[in-house]
Chain A
Amino acid sequence: MTQLPTPDSEDLRARYPEVFSRPVSARLAMPAMLLGAAGIFVFGLVDLDFSPARMLAGLHQLGWITLMMIPPDPGSSLPAYLVALGETLSIALLGTTLAAVFALPVSLLAARNIVPSNLFRFPVRRFLDSIRGVDTLIWALVWINVVGLGPFAGVLAIAVSDFGAFGKLFSEAVEAADKKQVEGVRASGGNALHEIRFGLMPQVLPVIAGQVLYFIESNTRSATIIGIVGAGGIGLQLAEQIRVLEWQKVSFLILMILVAVAAIDWISSRLRFAIIGRRAVA
């Protein structure tokens, strides 16, 4: 039987000093970071009024609530809920489409290969960033002030907040496009608009279509909650039923949302495959 040579630790230590004695700062960095993170965590728990007693009482309550949710039962309001669900899906579809239509031209302005001047591109980018910094619910509050309560405010809220996100994503897609086609169009005498239409768009559109479909899916989720501030859809019903403690209806509504999101998820991934092909997604 062969024996591995026993490592001579003294010899190794002499040969690779940097492995055996790392500087103190490097050795302490990780524990210090973990300790700091844990410290802030504990401070947060204390500062935010966490206490075992509250936690236990809350969990007890939550257990009761969960028990009362079973079985899910819409009562007599099923038709109203279905209408609200339709409203939510409409809000998601319309909001996303509007946002995409408006974001496309703006995204060209934010793309490096279309607008080479930093001076012009920078404000457009910051503008898109600040729109994204504000949550959809806040936009919904603002739009309610403008067009009144109802789903239309929800459509506009989703459109505005997605406009910021799409502007950024589309401009990234445009920047990633291949320059050769654009140069080809220019070489055959096309002007700047021709370059965009025939050189850029055929490359960018499938990517954009995929992103839009993905957003319709994620906006179905957002559209379920903007009702909480009064902007229509199933969130309005949900918030109402939670406030009046109708737990069976609440659980039914949550189930409806889950099913609807799963259905949209399935449809949009099928459509995505159809548009950009299985290969590009994987």
Chain B
Amino acid sequence: MTVAVSMLPEQQLAVLNIAYRKAVARKRLRLALATAVFFAALVVAALGAEVNLGTFIAKIGNFVSYFDRIATLEGGARVWSDPGEWFWGWQKWLSLLGETILISYVGTLAGAILAFALNFLTAENTSPAPWLRFAVRRLMEFCRTVPDIVFALIFVIAFGLGPMAGVLAIMIHSVGALGKLYSEIVENVDMKPVEGVRSTGASWLSCMRFAVVPQVAAGFASYTLLRFEINVRGASVMGFVGAGGIGQELVVAVRKFYYSDVSAILLMIIISVFVIDIGTGWARGRLFGKEARA
């Protein structure tokens, strides 16, 4: 059986071919240009960041041997040969670790409460007035963009050294971050219950309480747990600027070259982050599992 393939006349085909080749060439040119610009940016950045491959190659051995050193006790033995010696300060460290987790807990919860109060003002569908929405949004953006450790630096001066500055810094950062996520959830709710409640003559507050909150509670809780997890990491370095927690102890150990202490504290931080990761992951799974069943 023969199949007739209909071909365009020579002239038309040539025009199309030229157009095709031109389009491909243009695409390739754009890709090449973008790559060139990217590499140029990289070179400029490398100059700006004082990248020195010589130093890097000369010192990379230090990086590897650093891990060797932090795995060695004063006496020269491996750390795991004598856990008692390795974790000599475990009581102090454990209580500092507890403080770290408490800082992030209190900071996250306070931030979540504030964000909860503010987010209904910023969500497009529930905001009572456009100017209010604009103002609260800008405020949240500010809270979110300034890193929490910068707030901690300033609060340490205003409130004095100690965990209070850390809590407040984490709280402010969480207000910004959670407020945005919360308001995004609120913008996605079904508006019919709101109309239903409003039609009974309810006030704005009652509308939020009885029509919006029941729809968003699980999502809010999930994001808050996620934030808590992030904040534990953040709180572990708050001590670098004197805002409480285990960071203080770590920075001292690193700066004074107490190698085995560094590895002991790092290990404790990593394990607690793991445990909290798994715990919040489990709790989030249960929250959403409940949602799916209902």
Contact = CB atoms under 8 A, between A and B. Distances in A.
Interface of A: 37, 40-41, 43-45, 47-50, 54-55, 57-59, 61-62, 65, 86-87, 89-91, 93-94, 97, 129-130, 133-135, 137-138, 141-143, 145-148, 150-152, 154-156, 221-222, 224-225, 228-229, 232, 235, 238-239, 242, 245, 250, 254, 257-258, 261-262
Give the 3 A-B residue pairs with the shortest CB-CB distance, closest first: A58-B159, A90-B48, A90-B45
B164 interface: yes
A54 B163 CA distance: 12
Interface in B28-47: 41-42, 44-47
B125 to A, nearest CB: 18
B86 interface: no
15 contacts: A48-B244, A50-B164, A54-B164, A57-B159, A58-B158, A137-B149, A138-B250, A145-B62, A155-B49, A224-B150, A228-B153, A235-B150, A242-B153, A250-B154, A254-B150
Given A49-B163, A93-B41, A133 B270 contact: yes
B102 A258 contact: no
B109 A146 contact: no
B99 A47 contact: yes
Given A54-B164, A93-B41, A61 B273 contact: no
Which of B48, B103, B110, B142 has the most CB atoms of chain A within a 10 A radius of its CB?
B48
Nearest to B109: A41
A229 to B, nearest CB: 6
Given A133-B269, A151-B49, 6 more contacts: A41-B105, A87-B49, A89-B48, A138-B237, A222-B147, A238-B153
Nearest to B146: A254
B140 to A, nearest CB: 13
B145 A257 contact: yes
